[in-house]
Amino acid sequence: MASNANDGSTSSYWEASGQSSTLTAKLGADADLTGVVVKLNPDPAWSTRSQSIQVLGRPVGESGFTSLKDRADYTFNPSQNKNTVTIPVSGRYADVRLQFFGNTGAGGGQVAEFEVVGAAAPAPI
């Protein structure tokens, strides 16, 4: 369930039904972004896994997404307390999308928490 990816708890999570899946955060207005944080459950029962993720963004009023961070592999390792990945991005966008291409620990992308970091953009004049 997508709402599990922003419920403030790493014990619940969103899981895609397959690869090449997406998870989108709709901010409601443009924001000046500085990063995206992806968290998985820190419980040691979760094995180390690598997820292949691309970050995309879309400003208010646009239909297409732009790549903010090219596809890359990110490792999540609960035994080393490394189940949080921060991905630097920049630009002014209202929607932020994670696109998953692979997950070595499951059949689809997994996210316990999806956070978008930045500040509200100034109102247009």
Domain residue spans in the chain?
2-120
Determine the pLDDT at residue 19.
Answer: 80
pLDDT tens-digit series, residues 79-95: 888 999 999 999 999 99
Determine the pLDDT at residue 109.
Answer: 95
Residue 44 CA to residue 62 CA, distance in Å, equals 41
Q: What are φ and ψ of residue 9, in 5° steps?
A: -130, 130
Q: Which residues in the chain come in under a pLDDT of 70?
A: 1
Determine the pLDDT at residue 123.
Answer: 76
Residue 5 buriedness (CB in 10 A; 0-12 / 13-18 / 19+): buried
Q: What are φ and ψ of residue 80, in 5° steps?
A: -110, 15
Note whether 118 and 30 are within 8 A (CB).
no
Determine the pLDDT at residue 1.
Answer: 65
Determine the pLDDT at residue 100.
Answer: 97
Whole-model pTM: value is 0.93
CATH superfamily, domain 2-120, is: Galactose-binding domain-like (2.60.120.260)
